[in-house]
Chain A
Amino acid sequence: MTIQLLFFAQARERAGFGRATLELPEGSRVADALAEIARRHPALAELMPHLAVAVDRKLVSPQTALTAGVELALLPPVSGGATGARGGRGKAGGAGG
């Protein structure tokens, strides 16, 4: 089966492109797709533990089963955001946008 791949931010830059297709055996799960992506794109391998994965715009786990035609997106960590609050998790200065 064929699935669509979307890479964003650092994942996009490391892969060198933002969109691709991937051919996988029937019955593959998200973890299988990630292993195949890491094999084909070694530059993404070290990023893998930090990525969230969405299938058709919903966050999924590695065990999620894939079906033909789905859109699998690799989502690097987001800024999180320092609040600037004293004693909080924020860093001094906070984060604007």
Chain B
Amino acid sequence: MAELVHGPIDVPRILTSALRPDCGAVTLFLGTTRDQHQGRAVERLSYEAYEPMALAALEALESAAMERFAIAGCTIVHRLGEVPIGDASVVVAVAAAHRAAAFDACRWAMDELKRSVPIWKKEFFAGGSEAWVEGASLGGSGGGPE
């Protein structure tokens, strides 16, 4: 079940919930906040979402992953607000009978998330400047889960 949280993501809980007796593979992806962007030192990051739409989009992504891959479970959790450098800002957990589908679905869901979910990242640089990270138009070419 998709979640948007405003504090630290409880990674052990997500991992424990993903484990299933009928699955031989669980992939857990953590997107973590990085201290540099294209050579510039990043001091802190903040995420903003259109929350009801973002949550619906994450749930739709989980369902789409379930249909597209031979997996038994997919959970996506995104953190909003300020996230300290080095912390997880997003977690994708996928359980499957076999590892190939678990790896593929995890990567696919994360790639889709970055271009189809209304969540924005702002980076605050050393020296005081700041910038929104903007790469893909929502619903534009290549956007959206197909």
Binding site for B on A (CB under 8 A): 6, 8-10, 12, 50-52, 54, 57, 59, 73, 75-83, 91, 93, 95-97
Contact = CB atoms under 8 A, between A and B. Distances in A.
B50 A78 contact: no
Contacts of B137: 50-52, 77
B99 interface: no
Given A78-B116, A97-B88, 7 more contacts: A8-B49, A79-B114, A81-B136, A95-B34, A96-B32, A96-B89, A97-B90
A78 B33 contact: no
Interface stretch (B11-19, B20-28, B63-71, B117-125): B117-125
A78 B34 contact: no
Interface residues of B, number: 40
B74 to A, nearest CB: 18
13 contacts: A6-B50, A51-B137, A52-B137, A52-B139, A57-B50, A57-B52, A78-B115, A78-B134, A79-B114, A81-B110, A96-B32, A96-B34, A97-B90
Contacts of B90: 97
